Structure 1
Amino acid sequence: MCFENENIYPNCSVITRKIEVGGLTKSELIQKLQQCSILMNAYGEKLLADDKFTTSDTKYTLQTVELTVGDLGFPDGATTAQIFKKASEIGLELCPLELGPYLRLEYLDQPEDYSGNPLQRNQAPSGSITIASEILCEDDDFPKGFYLRRINGVLWLRGYIADYLHVWNPNDHFIFCQTDI
């Protein structure tokens, strides 16, 4: 994690990935997740089932960058709106919502959550990676997006809820898209 100005994105270490997205229907995508033994929570299932969750008929490639809230220059954390605004200002884009399942299918070697800490309510779980994507519904009880996690050797594609006041911790990981592939 980097906090000094010279160590804020893009001048800090990040993880980049090229992910192929699209080409599957929603039901084919769900079937592929099941075939790979990827589990989902109720929020993830709700997001996938919603009519606003759409898939592309055509395959395309996205360049993603994984960084922390601190890497964006927020040593004390930030709200979702602050994080998304800062990312946009420095040339990062929100990911299409359909990236979540495809990224989960590609990123099969995600490290286990080693924290040993009990899950704290209203915080991103240790070891999780949140995919920065457009929020489909402002309703506080509707999932805002996906995050990836590995728990006891099991890969998860999970949905999350967070209201506009939620402050993400500086060590929380996010994935954005880069336009310069």
Structure 2
Amino acid sequence: MLYPDCPVIIRTVEVGGLTKSQLIHKLQQYSILMNDYGERLLADDKFTTSDTKYSLQTVELTVGDLGFPHGATTAQIFKKASELGFELCPLELGPHLRLGYLDQPEGYLGNPLLRHQAPSDSITIASEILTEDDDFPKGFYLRRINDLLWLRGYRADHLHVWNPNDHFIFCKQNRR
């Protein structure tokens, strides 16, 4: 099924109101783990936080639900989402969504880890890409593995093809 007739998960997420160091401290308080890419994203000067709290409505759906039964590149996914009225999320949504989604289902459950592909049951947050440098992380994804919550950064070049069952989160166009 294709959007809008497919299953989607809509969330309202409170974003902003914390400095970068307060956000990092809160992630540590909740024992949220990060990989090197996630830490690099958070530490970068281009990662900014809003002084003011605001609400975002997000929609989670798969690459296949966007009309790509054989997968698609990041650019194709972002273009199609824009045509459907979705926006890219601010980068700071990643840590705030992780803090608000503590009951994410377990991800591994016998599914093999695949190199150069999104892990099963992970959710990639569609956000503005800070740099075209292929060695720099492109954004965040959320996952739970062995009962541990992760906020991870990922790298993907412009040729990377996402699988049809990969989950993405976009923002509905009602920001601020």
TM-score, normalised on structure 1?
Answer: 0.95
Q: Does 1:161 align with 2:159?
A: no
Question: Residue 93 of structure 1 aligns to which amino acid in structure 2?
Answer: E
Q: Does 1:145 align with 2:143?
A: no
Q: Which runs of 5+ in 2 are unaligned?
A: none
Q: Take 1:77 and 1:96, find their aligned partners in 2: how far apart are those partners?
A: 24
Name the residue aligned to 2:117. Answer: 123
Write out the 4+ residue segments of structure 1 that deviate beyond 6 Å after TM superposition: none
Deviations 1:103-137 (A, max 9, x none): 00000000001441321111000110000000001
- Secondary structure, counterpart of 1:135 in structure 2: coil
Name the residue aligned to 1:94. Answer: 88
Name the residue aligned to 1:106. Answer: 100
Q: Take 1:91 and 1:43, find their aligned partners in 2: how far apart are those partners?
A: 29
1:42 to 36, 43, 58: 36
Once the two structures are aligned, what percentage of the paired residues are identical? 82
Name the residue aligned to 2:11. Answer: 17
Decide whether the 8 Å contact of 2:15 with 2:56 is kept in 1: yes
Name the residue aligned to 1:5. Answer: none
Q: How many residues of Structure 1 are paired with residues of Structure 2 in the alignment?
A: 175
TM-score, normalised on structure 2?
Answer: 0.97
Decide whether the 8 Å contact of 2:13 with 2:56 is kept in 1: yes
- Secondary structure, counterpart of 1:148 in structure 2: strand
Name the residue aligned to 2:58. Answer: 64
Give the superposition deviation at 1:55.
Answer: 0.1
Q: Does 1:26 align with 2:36?
A: no
CA RMSD of aligned residues (A): 1.0
